[in-house]
Amino acid sequence: MDRKQYSPTLVRAVSLAAVLMLTFTVAAQTEKTIHPFNGTNHIDGSGPEGNVVADSAGNLYGTAFGSGSAGVGIVYKLSRPVPPSGTWTESILHAFAGPDGANPAGGLIFDSAGNLYGTTAYGGNGPCTVLAVVIGCGVVFELSPPATSGGSWTESVLYNFQFGSDSGGSRAPLIFDSAGNLYGTTSGQGFDSAFADPGAVFQLGPPPLPGGAWTETTILSFPAFLLGANPFAPVAFDASGNLYGTTFFGGDRGCTATSLGCGVIFQLAPPSLPGGSWTETVLHTFAGKRHDGSNPVGGVAITPSGALFGTTSTGSTFGGGTVFAMQPPSSLGGAWTYANIYAFGGTGDGVASRAAVTFGLGRTLYGTTSRGGTLDDGTVFRLTPPISPGSPWTETILHSFQYSTTNHTDGNIPYGGVIVYKGALVGTTLGGGSKNSGTVYSLFP
């Protein structure tokens, strides 16, 4: 089967092209609910956590963590309305049943043939248990489009996590490399006896012949808490083939009351010889408290120059988390430079960002916070870089979610980030909407 093979350079080029479409101004933004989920009917999904992805026709695709016919999540498609002022139409592409996966938390990616790939946090044939009931350790899945218009999509389980070195509980989307391999993370969280499981980074190699089995390789099972533990976010490539990511726990075990650490930013360098091992380097250990962020949930976004930007869910001045930047060394073997560029949690501000940032024109950053804002329902924010070096970044709240007993149109608690879509920002909320089952929303000038 034809699969798109993404090079890191191409991925950044595509991302930069999307950035150039973004033309937000200081004017107030208009928020619209594209789709309110109706998980109460056990057909539609509920509680979407990941980002959406768009196809070439402008249709949107994503996952919902819960509901569907078996109550363990769905993959959905939202067909773009014609004319644009019309109503989006939802199609359920797949409802998970348990053995084929359960509770997808991350987003999706496409290949060139239009197949979708993703992960689930639970389900499959792995031995993981919750309250002594075997529920599976999660899977990597593929969804193939129908051969004829109006037909059904076909799901294939490419890999079942087994809670060995591969861990389990993946909550992040996948990425491709130039050879068609898939890469992702497993959190090691959410199961009985999972306290000491640190999670992993894995590679999934495509079969040499169509219809064959994919090959899983654990390229990093976090070896010690000082080197990070429990990644909830995806990894990202730079132009040299290095992988970068974050872990929620690990690092300095003295920084939190639970002694699990405040998390790290790590780099994985590919093996220098075929069959060799990837090499992990900790680029930053979060210290928490007032001086640093802590417990990152989202991954890192990489600029063409190799700088890393991301968020933390807690820590810093107000305890509401941070946006951080890491500049690569100016010479080979030098040290990376870390800086907190914004601290969440001031009056009316958002708090607890759980998603990566999205680049905008002129190094502007866009993102979400899961809480804070007018009603503590979360926000969409913009960070504008300083005019002169050393000056502070400027934050603007583009939308403060306001779901309430009298307002059932808005969403609340955005766990996912935003994507750039035809000059607007599009994202998901965990709750809110007409049935309080979550939403897909757009935000435009």
Residue 10 lies in a domain: no
Amino acid at 185: T
Q: State which residues of the chain have pLDDT below 70.
A: 1-28, 194-195, 257
Residue 416 lies in a domain: yes
Quick one: pLDDT at residue 1? Answer: 35
Residue 22 lies in a domain: yes
Quick one: pLDDT at residue 149? Answer: 84
User: What does the DSSP 8-state code read for residue 417?
Assistant: -
Quick one: pLDDT at residue 251? Answer: 92
pTM flag (> 0.95): no
Quick one: pLDDT at residue 85? Answer: 82
CA torsion angle 2 8 269 107 (round to 10):
-70
Q: Using one digit for the tens of pLDDT, what is the confidence trace for 393-409?
A: 999 999 999 998 777 88
Residue 221 lies in a domain: yes
For residue 367, the tally of other CB atoms under 10 A from its CB is 28
CATH of the domain at 271: 2.120.10.30
User: What does the DSSP 8-state code read for residue 233?
Assistant: S
SS3 assignment, position 13: helix
Domains held by the chain: number: 1
For residue 58, the tally of other CB atoms under 10 A from its CB is 14
Q: Which domain holds residue 308?
A: 18-444
Instruction: Report which of 229, 300, 214, 304 is spatially closest to residue 262, judged by C-alpha positions.
Output: 229
Quick one: pLDDT at residue 135? Answer: 96
SS3 assignment, position 9: helix
Distance of CA 99 to the CA centre of its chain: 24
For residue 330, the tally of other CB atoms under 10 A from its CB is 8
